[in-house]
Amino acid sequence: MTTNHHLAPTSICLFRLSAIGDATHVIPVIKTLQNKYPDCPITWLIGKLEYKLLKGLPGVEFIIYDKSAGWSGIQQMRKQLKGRQFDVMLLMQLSFRANFVSWFIKAKRRIGFDNRRAKEGHRLVINEQIPYLQNCHVLDGFMQFAEYLGCDEKIMNWDLPVNVEDQKLADKVLSKSKKNVVISPCSSHELRNWSVAKYGELIQCLVKEYQVNVILTGSPSPKEKAFIASIERASGCAVKNMAGQDTLKQLWCLLKGADLVVSPDSGPLHMAGSVKTPVIGLLAASNYKRSGSYQFPELTVDKYPQACHLFLNKSVNEVKWGTKTEFPGAMDLITIEDVLNAVNRVLVKGK
């Protein structure tokens, strides 16, 4: 399809269902589009969990797709979209499920990724493509969609609305007399997690040498709660274990009020950066230049090059962009000393 891709859109449907970290990357894209086209209505087709964080984003209509509901989830989505056709759909997801579900959305212009990034039937459900961008961060790849539509000024703003109740939990948990360090130790993939023993030792150092208030966070899943409870026991310190006790909005407020966050490649890693809290990313199973903290890359403990060499017998420059090194032992390449060196860049001992 040949078109003037800078033509002002009359309506936009943004398709990005998951995950939490990726959803935070979409926020500045939306604000960039709103800045350029303030009168253009924007609809975001989003996952059920992700909506709990993004709910209330000004100027955005949300349509929730519950992937756990199977075909009935698609039927519910189609019911909400019945009789509607968008001028532009931005298909910002590459999975087969996303490509399949997007087919039920009517749009004149269906904009997706270039051929080199497209996979799992992506090219079959789009009629325009953004240009290839070599070795880019996920957020920069998303921002290409706004640039493709003629947005020449990027609005790098991640502000989200929260209410008084959301803030109350943070105010209760955060210390007013000590620095606050939030540790969110769980990723969506176990092989991206650092060990219980090392987290325990890190907490001991933080409490003894920096006299900080340590807060552990995680989802309500039994596996995560057990993992975090093990870390608490291993530390032998008085920490605040908030695993499963906060909503995503409350976690947003908690991260915003913290002085430092430590996390592997996970949603909270990107949430922390979004609220401008220094975050130490623990990455060995993925390339931080693609999926690490966008706001604080300099604080990343990066062992991905070593993992590529050890597990793939290749240099980091030889592996395909986006290759994961999710192997047992990869995260063990990260040492306590590595993390404390990053801590020293943010906190002062004894203060």
CATH number of the domain that 20 lies in? 3.40.50.2000
- Say yes or no: 211 and 124 in one domain: no
Specify if 75 maps to a domain.
Answer: yes
Same domain, 219 and 302: yes
The pLDDT assigned to 2 comes to 42
Distances (CA, A) of 104 to 15, 31, 72, 101: 12, 26, 13, 6
Locus of tokens 């979409």: 26
Predicted confidence (pLDDT) per residue in 150-180, tens digit: 999 999 999 999 999 999 999 999 999 999 9
Q: Are the CB atoms for 258 and 245 separated by under 8 Å?
A: no
Residues 144 and 170 in one domain: no
Q: Is there a domain that residue 126 lies in? A: yes
Residue of 166, 190, 199 lying closest to 280 (CA atoms): 199
Asked if residue 2 belongs to a domain, the reply is no
- 92 domain-assigned: yes
147 contacts: CB under 8 Å, gap ≥ 6? 130
Kindly report the number of other CB atoms within 10 A of residue 73's CB atom: 16
Q: Is 326 helix (H, G, I), strand (E, B) or coil?
A: coil
In a domain, 349, yes or no: no
Closest CA to 252 of 71, 96, 27, 45: 27
Residue type, 173: V
Query: Which residues of the chain are modeled with pLDDT < 70?
Result: 1-4, 350-351
Q: Are residues 264 and 116 in the same domain?
A: no
Q: Tell me whether strands 213-216 and 240-241 are parallel, antiparallel or unpaired.
A: parallel
The residue from 123, 148, 173 where one domain ends is 148
Answer yes or no: do 172 and 88 share one domain. Answer: no
From 148, 177, 202, the end of a domain falls on 148
Least Cα distance to 62 among 51, 76, 49 occurs for: 51
pLDDT tens-digit readout, 253-287: 999 999 999 999 999 999 999 999 999 999 999 99
Asked whether residue 159 is domain-assigned, the answer is no
User: What's the structural domain count of the chain?
Assistant: 2
pLDDT for the residue numbered 1: 44
Q: Are residues 204 and 334 in the same domain?
A: yes
- Biggest CA pair distance of the chain: 64
Domain boundary among 83, 114, 148: 148
- Domain range for 210: 165-344
